[in-house]
Amino acid sequence: MAAAANKALIVQSDCSVLLELGAPHADDARAALAPFAELVKSPEHVHTYRLTPLSIWNARSTGLAAEQMVKALREHARYPIPSNVEQEILQLAARYGRVVIARDGNILRCSCQDHITAERIARDKGAGQYLTDRISPTEFRVAPDARGVLKQALVAAGYPAEDLAGYLPGEHLNLELRANSLSGKPFQVRDYQRQAAEAFHLAGSERGGSGVIVLPCGAGKTIVGLAAMDLVKQTTLVLATTLTSVKQWRRELLDKTSLRQEDIAEYTGERKNTGPVTLTTYQILTWRGDRAAEFPHLELFRARSWGLIIYDEVHLLPAPVFRATADLQARRRLGLTATLVREDGRESDVFALIGPKRFDVPWKDLERQAWIATASCIELRVPMSAERRMEYALAERRSQFRVAAENPAKMIHLRELLARYPDARVLVIGAYIDQVETIATEIGAPLVAGKTPEIERERIYERFRKGELRCIVLSKVGNFAIDLPDADLLIQVSGAFGSRQEEAQRLGRVLRPKYDGRAARFFTLVSRDTREEEFAHHRKLFLTEQGYSYQVRLAEELSKAR
């Protein structure tokens, strides 16, 4: 009885699960729960998780059985698990793969495990419209061009399909991974990177070839992409977030594979070429002359017989690319991301159209193995002056967040942090251009923002890599792939409301392992007693789920401690 009283989980009949952080073995309970539950609240002492259909289906896609989920709850639950919760897990898990899509000559066949399931999806308003011809009590013919939209509709109906219809072959790509990079340093794909690529590829079987790999920033997701390309060896289209990311992919491809300059084309605002490997950005794909116009560059998806399409930072996939991807289900699709969290709630579309989560590793596991840097996260609550508090009180509710985010008092504490860590390599990042411009001017550091020309950006980044610059100030462009491995102190002065994905991306900027093993520090400056505190709490959720704990400190207390 005493042992049960010390257990960390309380499972409730509404499918929520409470994790008591002060209980013995709370970390073990979190590690057992996180693969199949979603964290929704993370105050100081008790975290709340929820069992959802998508969380359970993603767990099933990685090979976790329903019985293992139930066993994990039983092992760590303080009280008996409500019977309806066990039944919910078993029933939801059993729905994964109850519907199978396979190829039947030039058409597709949608097969159901039983007659009841067939009737349910046939009568479903969303899915039923794509089941054009019933060929048996449990089977339907489906038009090939409906493959993606049917999968979306089936997820919405609660019956995620297992897609075994296979893929069209792309042109052969003569690619090998190097044993040594061009710099002469030995290059070897890490075990977890190889496992991730193999979990996606599944030895070329119909069960592989589509899905999402979830790894923290700094853990080498680009290398996973290279390893997948090596396994597939077919023409590849890489979709990246920014031109900087495109340049980074090019450098890695040339440095670590046998590809030559002429094998890699860039389809960007600077040049629009295609080649055996083509690199582009979401921005160029979603450009159009006006809102009523078509998206002309989406034709790139059909420009070649791609054998593999890689979606870098798949959690940022814009809606037009989702729509185009629905038509690309006969191409292998690999999503790379640090978090499956999407602020627009379209996680189910990633699941249906790119594929289920095939592989992930808890961030803290990689930290323990020194593949990413140890990091401490501190939320520094900054007071506002009397004048600023009045401005905040009189502002419309929609404007209050920005009044708090641009609190001038943050500059005082930013300077104190820079003085407190004189040897740190620093990134200062914010959401508002006026704010970051002021900071850059006052501390005498270069600013990289959306309007900074690409050549100038690369020059600044290179000076930072060489140690010629100690600090760079970044606008929201700093959320995305920037290769600055020596950065070990990130100071966040403002963010995009309660964005969990942005918080994860920003911490990732300082998680590259340091040559001397030093730890990373992640400071967030938040105006006290404002809506910014509420949004900061929500931003932390994903990282808290990964095992990171935030210290909350009053700015003036930290100042006195110097």
- Residue 386: CATH number of its domain: 3.40.50.300
Q: CA-CA distances (angstroms) from residue 33 to 55, 80, 335, 380?
A: 11, 16, 24, 30
Domain extent for 136: 99-164
Is 338 found in the same domain as 203?
yes
Give a yes or no: residue 183 inside a domain.
no
Choosing from 325, 343, 361, the residue where a domain stops is: 361
Same domain, 411 and 290: no
* Whether residue 75 is found in the same domain as residue 45: yes
Q: Which residue, 317, 342, 361, sits at the end of a domain?
A: 361
151 located within any domain: yes
Beta bridge partners, 280, equal: 239, 267
**10 Å Cβ neighbour count for 183?**
7
User: Are 90 and 104 within one domain?
Assistant: no
Residue 221 counted as domain residue: yes
Examine the domain organization and report whether 378 and 348 are in the same domain.
Answer: no
Counting the structural domains of the chain, the total is 4
In a domain, 350, yes or no: yes
- Could you tell me if 357 and 373 lie in one domain? no
Q: Distances in Å between the alpha carbon of 532 and those of 39, 501, 525, 553? A: 21, 17, 10, 15
Amino acid 85: pLDDT: 95
Look-up: residue for tokens 């300082």? 510
The answer to whether position 177 is within a domain reads no
Both 258 and 330 in a single domain?
A: yes
Contacts of 453 (CB under 8 A, 6+ apart): none
Asked if residue 6 is part of any domain, the answer here is yes
Residue 373 · residue 513 · CB < 8 Å: yes
Residues of the chain with pLDDT under 50: 1-2
The answer to whether residues 74 and 107 belong to one domain is no
Spatial CA neighbour of 413 closest among 553, 312, 547, 285:
553
Alpha-carbon distance of 172 to 276, in angstroms, equals 9
Q: Is 304 inside any structural domain?
A: yes
Same domain, 247 and 395: no
Q: Write the burial class of residue 365 (CB in 10 Å: 0-12 exposed, 13-18 middle, 19+ buried).
A: middle
| H runs (alpha helix) in 378-497 | 386-394, 397-405, 410-420, 433-443, 454-465
Q: Are residues 394 and 527 in the same domain?
A: yes
Q: Are residues 337 and 400 in the same domain?
A: no
pTM: 0.86
Specify if 195 maps to a domain: yes
Q: Which of 164, 183, 205 delimits the end of a domain?
A: 164
Give dist(CA 170, CA 277) in Å, integer. 11
* 337 and 215 in a common domain: yes
